[in-house]
Amino acid sequence: MLWFNFDVYLKYAWSPQIRNSLIIIGILIIFTIIFGHYLGKKDPNAKPSKIQLIFEEIVKLINTLCKLTIGKRWRGYAPYFLAIVIYLLVANTAGIWAIDAPTSSWNVTLGLGLITFFMVHYTGLRSLGIKKYLKSYTDPLPPYIPFLAPENVLTAFMLPFSLSLRLFGNIMSGAVMSILIYGLISQQPWGWAALIIMPFFHMIFDLFFGAIQAVVFTLLSCVFIGQKVDEEELIVE
């Protein structure tokens, strides 16, 4: 049967995007360990380096986003969103280095969407409690309207697909556009100009759009989780 076909497994479960994703994760882990060791030895009263300032600003932005959307539980979510935005910034822009961007595969983006999906409903159960969580599907706010439940349940289960397809579509379309433009230019008598022109398009499709999609995915994930938090917990003391 299909799931016992080893060739199919290698084609889809061990695609270049999956391999590149694991390589990027490994590099980021090594970088985090080295950078953490560097910060551990650094004098806290010394002038911070430029890279330290950049990461401090990223951490502050993530912390602020989590406080505003998730509330009192923000500390448990901030490390995840910091990790996901850094991973996506690197993964989405991998095309600059002439390798397949991990997020140009729906396998990768669907996995990220499912993580957000489970975090959303885990947060809802923990924050609202089972009874109030189930009532939220009839209508987010009282008075509860039972006939809205099927639509709200369907919307909830479409979350990982909408998140993953948005990210996958934008990254994949950027890669396809770069290939088409390169193919068109290279077939012209002045095809040598592709070496000069293509870096500009890579800056747009890979770097600029990739960075935007990393921010959008992180922001939407944080907002969706925040929607399942009890209102009383949204006030950060």
Closest CA to 73 of 234, 217, 220: 234
What is the predicted pLDDT for the residue at 10?
Answer: 59
Residue 134 lies inside a defined structural domain of this protein = no
Q: What is the CB neighbour count within 10 angstroms for residue 32?
A: 12
Residue 147 lies inside a defined structural domain of this protein = no
Residue 34 lies inside a defined structural domain of this protein = yes
What is the predicted pLDDT for the residue at 1?
Answer: 47
Question: Structurally, how many domains does the chain consist of?
Answer: 1
Chain centroid to CA 145: 33
What is the extent of the structural domain holding 168? Answer: 2-125+158-233
Cα distance between the two ends of the chain:
56
CA atoms of 153 and 231, how far apart (whole Å): 21
What is the predicted pLDDT for the residue at 142?
Answer: 53
For residue 70, give the amino acid letter.
I
- Model confidence, pTM: 0.83
Residue 20 lies inside a defined structural domain of this protein = yes
CB 101 within 8 A of CB 175: yes
CA atoms of 142 and 135, how far apart (whole Å): 9
For residue 150, give the amino acid letter.
P
Residue 44 lies inside a defined structural domain of this protein = yes
For residue 116, give the amino acid letter.
T
CA atoms of 126 and 123, how far apart (whole Å): 5
Residue 140 lies inside a defined structural domain of this protein = no
Residue 113 lies inside a defined structural domain of this protein = yes
Residue 137 lies inside a defined structural domain of this protein = no
Closest CA to 85 of 105, 57, 106, 124: 57
CB 228 within 8 A of CB 69: no
pLDDT in tens, the chain (237 residues): 445 555 655 566 677 888 899 999 999 999 999 988 888 888 777 887 888 888 889 999 999 999 989 988 888 899 999 999 999 999 998 877 778 889 988 889 999 999 999 999 999 898 888 888 888 777 655 555 666 678 778 888 888 899 999 999 988 888 777 777 777 776 777 666 666 676 677 777 778 888 899 999 999 999 999 888 888 777 655
What is the predicted pLDDT for the residue at 237?
Answer: 52
CA dihedral 140, 145, 146, 148 (to 10 degrees): -70
